[in-house]
């Protein structure tokens, strides 16, 4: 999303991107990115120079910088809050996926929306894995009683198990890629957690609402045993208990033996 406050301040001051870049001492392309992306935070000295050039307080142009500087308690790990997951900018998801280099975890119950909203996600993840990034999917068990009950609660035509099936179809195309793993669980039905190195998107699922209608939080790791670490501990515990998506169930193994 664009930085509307910065664009308005430049218009009020009758300063274009070339002029602001010259006064701040950066490339004009850098200023263009500041204007085009409200989550892009310039270096402090560049923020201060831009504010001086435009005659506007830093808190107006880049409020996130002020909040990060003021927070000292555990809540400083809260980077942003959205009333709906659908309100979380697609640009933020792309930035986090693209920027992660160590580990990505998709612990959504269906993870369906990822394939819908991010074209060529599979190709991007395969490239990440080949570069050494560990990628894990924790997917809801489509055959569990928990899944059946959730389908009754949501009462939608596009059922939970159908959405899981979409993800499983996409994951099948990534099977065999070193660094990409997937497991079934049904214990994260009420809480989706997505991690990208030191950033995390969390969605607690409310009542009978589907994921995109539930509130969403963006956390950024700032301390040991903080909110980020505790949520990651939760996901890792469920992962350890999960069942490999690509594992052949015993009943199918027995059937194969009989057929042979």
* Sign of the torsion formed by the C-alpha atoms of 247, 173, 192 and 112: negative
Same domain? For 63 and 115 the reply is no
Same domain? For 36 and 93 the reply is no
Per the document, the length of the chain is 260
Q: For position 53, which CATH number holds?
A: 1.10.260.40
Percent of the chain past pLDDT 70, that is, above it, reads 90
Percent of the chain past pLDDT 90, that is, above it, reads 55
Helix, strand, coil fractions of the chain, as percent rounded to 5: 50, 15, 35
Query: Is 253 domain-assigned?
Result: no
Which structure tokens are listed for 33?
A: 């990115």
**Residue 75 CA from chain centroid, whole number:** 19
Please state, in angstroms and as integers, the Cα–Cα distance from residue 203 to each residue in 116, 165, 184, 190, 253, following that order: 18, 21, 19, 8, 37
Q: What's the rounded Cα separation, in Å, for the pair 116 and 70?
A: 37
Query: Is 258 domain-assigned?
Result: no
Same domain? For 38 and 112 the reply is no
Q: In the block, which residue shows the tokens 């308005």?
A: 8
Same domain? For 158 and 50 the reply is no
Q: In the block, which residue shows the tokens 């690509």?
A: 246
Provide φ and ψ at 105, rounded to 5°. -125, 125
pLDDT in tens, 11-24: 999 999 999 999 99
Q: What's the rounded Cα separation, in Å, for the pair 164 and 109?
A: 8
Same domain? For 62 and 82 the reply is no
Q: What's the rounded Cα separation, in Å, for the pair 113 and 88?
A: 13
The helix or strand, by DSSP H or E, that contains position 200, with its residue range, turns out to be: strand 199-204
pLDDT in tens, 37-85: 877 788 888 988 999 899 888 878 887 776 665 555 667 788 888 898 8
Q: For position 194, which CATH number holds?
A: 3.30.870.10
Query: Is 255 domain-assigned?
Result: no
Same domain? For 226 and 116 the reply is yes
| pLDDT confidence of residue 210 | 65
Q: Which residues pair with 180 in a beta bridge?
A: 135
pLDDT in tens, 170-214: 999 999 999 999 999 999 989 999 999 999 999 998 876 666 688
Same domain? For 115 and 51 the reply is no
Q: What's the rounded Cα separation, in Å, for the pair 245 and 183?
A: 5
Residue 125: which residues within 8 A CB-CB, separation 6 or more?
104, 135, 174, 180
Per the structure, the complete domain to which residue 63 belongs is given by 4-70
Q: What's the rounded Cα separation, in Å, for the pair 150 and 131?
A: 37
Give the mean pLDDT of the chain: 87
Provide φ and ψ at 77, rounded to 5°. -80, -10
**Could you report how far apart the first and last alpha carbons of the chain are, in Å?**
58
Per the structure, the count of domains in the chain is 2
Query: Is 257 domain-assigned?
Result: no
Residue at which a domain ends, from 30, 53, 70? 70
- Residues 227 and 77 sit within 8 Å (Cβ to Cβ): yes
Query: Is 251 domain-assigned?
Result: no
Same domain? For 118 and 218 the reply is yes
Nearest to 137 by CA among 88, 190, 183: 183
Nearest to 61 by CA among 87, 82, 35, 81: 35
């Amino acid at each position: 999303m664009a930085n509307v406050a910065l664009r308005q301040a430049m218009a009020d001051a009758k300063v274009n991107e070339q002029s602001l870049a010259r006064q701040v001492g950066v490339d004009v392309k850098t200023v263009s990115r500041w204007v085009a992306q409200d989550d892009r935070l310039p270096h402090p000295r560049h923020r201060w120079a831009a504010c001086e050039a435009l005659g506007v307080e830093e808190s107006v142009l880049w409020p996130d910088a002020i909040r990060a500087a003021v927070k000292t308690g555990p809540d400083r790990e809260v980077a942003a809050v959205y009333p709906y997951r659908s309100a979380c900018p697609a640009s933020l998801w792309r930035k986090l996926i693209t920027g992660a280099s160590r580990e990505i975890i998709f612990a959504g119950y269906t993870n369906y929306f990822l394939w819908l909203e991010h074209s060529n996600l599979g190709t991007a993840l395969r490239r990440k894995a080949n570069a050494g990034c560990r990628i894990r999917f924790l997917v809801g068990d489509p055959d569990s009683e928990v899944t059946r009950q959730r389908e009754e609660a949501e009462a939608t035509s596009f059922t939970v198990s159908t959405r899981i099936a979409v993800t499983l179809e996409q994951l099948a195309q990534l099977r065999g890629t070193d660094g990409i793993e997937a497991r079934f669980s049904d214990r994260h039905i009420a809480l989706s957690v997505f991690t990208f190195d030191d950033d995390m998107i969390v969605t607690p699922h409310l009542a009978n609402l589907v994921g995109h209608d539930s509130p969403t939080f963006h956390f950024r790791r700032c301390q040991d045993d903080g909110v980020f670490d505790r949520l990651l501990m939760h996901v890792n515990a469920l992962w350890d208990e999960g069942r490999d998506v690509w594992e052949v169930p015993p009943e199918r193994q027995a059937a194969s033996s009989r057929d042979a």
